[in-house]
Amino acid sequence: MSDASDITTAPATAPVVPDAAVQVSGVDKIFTGKKKATVTALESIDLTVAPGEFVSLIGPSGCGKSTLLRLIADLDTPSTGTVTVFGKTARQARIDQEYGIAFQQAGLLPWRTVTGNIELPLELHGVGGAARKARVSELLALVGLSDFAESYPDQLSGGMQQRVAIARALAESPRLLLMDEPFGALDEMTRERMQTELVRITGETGAAVVFVTHSIPEAVYLSNRVVVMSPRPGRIRDVLTVSLGTAQERTEELRENEAFFENVSKVRELLHGEAPVGIRGVETR
Amino acid sequence: MRSSAGIYRTVLAPVLLGLVALALWQLLVVAFDIKAFIVPGPIAIGTEFGANLSTVLQGALVTGGNALVGLVIGGVTGILFAIIAALVRVIDELSAAVVAAIAVVPIVALAPVLYTMFGAAAETGRQLVAAIAVFIPVYINTLRGLRQVRPVHRDLMRVYAASAWQTTRTVTVPGALPFIFTGLRIASSLAVISALIAEYFGGPIGGLGKSITSAASGSNYSLAWAYVLGAIIVGLVFYCVTLAIEKIATRHYSPNT
Q: Is A175 helix (H, G, I), strand (E, B) or coil?
A: coil
pLDDT of residue A242: 81
pLDDT of residue B205: 81
pLDDT(A97) > 90: no
**Residue A15: how many other CB atoms lie within 10 Å:** 8
The answer to whether residue B236 is domain-embedded is yes
B2, B89: one domain? no
The answer to whether residue B1 is domain-embedded is yes
Q: Is A105 helix (H, G, I), strand (E, B) or coil?
A: coil
Q: Is B21 helix (H, G, I), strand (E, B) or coil?
A: helix
User: Is A47 near chain B, with CB under 8 Å?
Assistant: no
Asked whether the beta carbons of residue B156 and residue A124 sit closer than 8 angstroms, the reply is: no
Question: Quick one: closest CA in A to B177, which residue?
Answer: A111
ipTM: 0.79
Strand-pair partners of A23: A48, A84
Asked whether the beta carbons of residue B252 and residue A152 sit closer than 8 angstroms, the reply is: yes
The answer to whether residue B161 is domain-embedded is yes
**pTM (2 d.p.):** 0.76
B58, B30: one domain? no
User: Region B62-68: what's the mean pLDDT?
Assistant: 92
Asked whether the beta carbons of residue A124 and residue B171 sit closer than 8 angstroms, the reply is: no
The answer to whether residue B256 is domain-embedded is no
Confidence of residue B257 (pLDDT cuts 50, 70, 90): low
CB proximity list for B249: less than 8 A, separation 6 or greater: B177, B181
Asked whether the beta carbons of residue A110 and residue B257 sit closer than 8 angstroms, the reply is: yes
The answer to whether residue B255 is domain-embedded is no
pLDDT(B180) > 90: yes
Number of structural domains in chain B: 2
Tell me the domains of chain A and their CATH numbers. 17-98+176-285 (3.40.50.300), 108-173 (no CATH)
Q: What is the pLDDT of residues B71-97, one digit of tens each?
A: 999 999 999 999 998 888 888 888 878
CB proximity list for B217: less than 8 A, separation 6 or greater: none
CB proximity list for A54: less than 8 A, separation 6 or greater: A202, A208, A209, A211, A222, A223, A224, A225
How far away is chain B from the Cα of A115, in angstroms, using its nearest Cα?
Answer: 14
pLDDT of residue B114: 82
B26, B116: one domain? no
User: Is A94 near chain B, with CB under 8 Å?
Assistant: yes
B185, B208: one domain? yes
The answer to whether residue B257 is domain-embedded is no
B65, B83: one domain? yes
Report which of residues A243 and B91 the model is more confident about: B91
CB proximity list for A180: less than 8 A, separation 6 or greater: A66, A69, A70, A101, A102, A103, A104, A212
The answer to whether residue B157 is domain-embedded is yes
Q: What distances in angstroms separate CA A46 from CA A42, A67, A239, B115, B120, one per listed residue?
A: 11, 14, 11, 74, 78
Give the domain range for residue B45: 40-249
What is the CATH classification number for the domain harbouring B138?
A: 1.10.3720.10
Angle at B245 (CA atoms; ends B195, B95), nearest 5 degrees: 55
Asked whether the beta carbons of residue A107 and residue B162 sit closer than 8 angstroms, the reply is: no
Rounded-to-integer distance, Cα B116 and Cα B210, Å? 18
Nearest to A110 among B162, B166, B253 (CB): B253
